[in-house]
């Protein structure tokens, strides 16, 4: 949707994924005129391809494994949860080294503490926007289930729950029979599961973003197609040439997800930035089979999630150049295992979807001001939690930009931590 409301605004928000749309909405709420910029319609890139989880239970970030057995397993490069292109490793080796160091027990504990103010409010902030948009029914407060194939892995997971006690998370331990009751069409050979109850889920993440964007438009917001990489500083404002002419604003927000680093670097900010690619494909279910919750196979390294398009099978991460050709080996490798877990039928699409997620080695996003420029702001690098943290990021950044007291200390997310 394109509206022509003039060539000037208070703020240009570059990127119409979940983060950019929510930044635009929160600035709009605070009286700013906003133009949302993207090459595609809202919600059609990274925000579309995920498991639909608003993940309030993932309080500890996804760190690098530190045990030799797991590292050796990944080195074989035959798993659904991690794959890499050998030729790409030298390029990202410094990032991987820093990521590994940040994933020490002390580092993860600090990252969890820094991320908790955002994670804790993630569902609440989504509920507020969903209610305003009239789509509260799209948020399902039924959680998701983590399943285990062996008694040993189930027991390790049970033991690890003690470390989460201080966060007050709600969950249920499910033995084999209880798991079958909750998900009757899952394999009866699973050892058990953990039903995480705090998260919300959605069955069409791309449509959720589009609904939020529609509310932004209904309230007078503007959307323009443009190449955000052409952003220029001009006198005391910012200028961007779009399909409908030049756009000017006093302030600009870079919320380009996996495309953020190129523009940020051109503006003089160096970041240890890597993308993790991921894949999904949808399946129909065999006659009468129903999946009630998203299910993560902790031993298999994949997710099955009920979506409007069908049952979505999602792989883990792939370290490869953002724009190189797709490699469906993770999907192909794990599909037989997923079929033994749930009665999948035919693929709905002939070609799996591929997308990229922007990741920083300390497992925190960049939210805040660009210190070298007047009127430059950042909101990207949410790792695997873009959908989860879009609304709360929008709120925090809008509070900073409009000189309100932020609901939490923003310093852990400042870009200056990399200077």
The per-residue pLDDT for range 357-379, each reduced to its tens digit, is 999 999 999 999 999 999 999 99
Residues of the chain predicted below pLDDT 50:
1-6
Domains of the chain: 1-63+103-141+198-273+360-419 (3.50.50.60)
The tokens describing 62, both together, are 């996804």
Query: Phi first, then psi: what are they for 33, rounded to 5°?
Result: -85, 130
DSSP H or E stretch at residue 192: strand 192-196
Query: To 5 degrees, how large is the angle CA 101–CA 106–CA 108?
Result: 70
Residues linked to residue 319 through DSSP beta bridges, in sequence order: 84
| CA–CA dist 73, 94 (Å, integer) | 21
CA 157 – CA 75 distance, rounded (Å): 24
User: pTM for the full model?
Assistant: 0.95
Q: How many residues are there in the chain?
A: 419
Sequence-distant (≥ 6) Cβ neighbours of residue 186 within 8 angstroms? 147, 179, 180, 291, 295, 341, 342
Q: Alpha-carbon dihedral of residues 18, 335, 332, 311, nearest 10 degrees?
A: -30
DSSP state of 109: H
Report the C-alpha gap between 128 and 411 in whole angstroms. 25
Q: Are strands 144-148 and 295-297 parallel, antiparallel or unpaired?
A: parallel
Q: Tokens 């997710």 correspond to what residue? A: 303
What is the spatial distance between Cα 393 and Cα 7, in angstroms, rounded to a whole number?
A: 27
Beta pairing partners, 351: none
| CB contact set of 284 (below 8 Å; sequence gap of 6+) | 310, 311, 344, 345, 346, 348
Q: Are 357 and 260 in contact (CB under 8 A)?
A: no
Closest CA to 380 of 27, 8, 7, 23: 23
CA dist 70 and 77 (Å) reads: 11
Mean pLDDT of the chain: 94
Largest pairwise CA distance in the chain: 68
Residue 41 has a pLDDT of 93
Encoding tokens for residue 76?
């074989």
pLDDT value at residue 3: 43
Determine how β-strand 376-380 pairs with β-strand 310-314: unpaired
DSSP string, 326-386: P-THHHHHHHHHHHHHS-EEEES-SS-EEEEEEE-TTS--EEEE-TTSTTEEEEE--TT-H
Determine the pLDDT at residue 111: 96
């Amino acid at each position: 949707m394109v509206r022509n409301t003039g060539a000037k605004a208070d703020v240009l928000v570059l990127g119409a994924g979940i983060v950019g749309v929510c930044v635009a909405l929160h600035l709009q709420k605070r009286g700013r005129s906003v133009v949302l910029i993207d090459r595609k319609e809202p919600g059609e890139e990274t925000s579309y391809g995920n498991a639909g989880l608003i993940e309030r239970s993932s309080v500890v970030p996804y760190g690098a494994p530190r045990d030799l057995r797991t590292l050796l397993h990944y080195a074989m490069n035959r798993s659904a949860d991690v794959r890499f292109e050998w030729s790409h490793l030298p390029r990202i080796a410094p990032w991987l080294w820093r990521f590994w160091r940040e994933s020490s027990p002390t580092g993860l504990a600090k990252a969890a503490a820094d991320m908790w103010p955002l994670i804790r409010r993630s569902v609440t902030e989504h509920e507020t926007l969903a209610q305003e948009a009239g789509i509260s029914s799209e948020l399902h407060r039924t959680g998701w289930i983590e399943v285990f194939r062996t008694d040993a892995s189930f027991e390790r997971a049970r033991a690890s729950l003690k470390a989460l006690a201080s966060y007050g998370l709600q969950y249920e331990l499910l033995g084999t029979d209880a798991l079958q009751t909750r998900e009757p069409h899952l394999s009866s050979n699973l050892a058990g599961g953990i039903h995480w109850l705090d998260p919300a889920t959605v069955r069409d993440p791309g449509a959720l973003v589009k609904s939020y964007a529609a509310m932004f438009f209904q309230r007078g917001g503007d959307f323009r197609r443009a190449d955000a990489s052409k952003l220029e500083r001009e006198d005391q404002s910012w200028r961007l040439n779009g399909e409908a002419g030049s756009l000017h604003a006093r302030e600009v927000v870079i919320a380009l997800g996996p495309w953020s680093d190129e523009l940020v670097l051109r503006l003089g900010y160096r970041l240890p930035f890597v993308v993790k690619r991921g894949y999904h494909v949808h399946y129909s279910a065999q006659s009468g089979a129903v999946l009630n919750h998203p299910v993560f196979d902790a031993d298999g390294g994949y997710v099955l999630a009920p979506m409007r398009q069908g049952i979505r099978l999602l792989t883990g991460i792939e370290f490869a150049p953002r724009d190189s050709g797709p490699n469906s080996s993770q999907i192909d490798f794990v599909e037989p295992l997923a079929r033994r877990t749930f009665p999948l039928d035919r693929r709905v699409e002939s070609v799996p979807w591929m997308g990229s997620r922007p990741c920083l080695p300390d497992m925190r996003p960049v939210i805040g001001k660009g210190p070298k420029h007047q009127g430059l702001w950042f909101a990207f690098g949410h790792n695997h939690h873009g959908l989860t943290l879009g609304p709360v990021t929008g709120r925090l950044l809008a509070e900073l930009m409009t000189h309100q007291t932020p609901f939490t200390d923003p310093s852990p997310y400042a870009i200056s931590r990399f200077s």
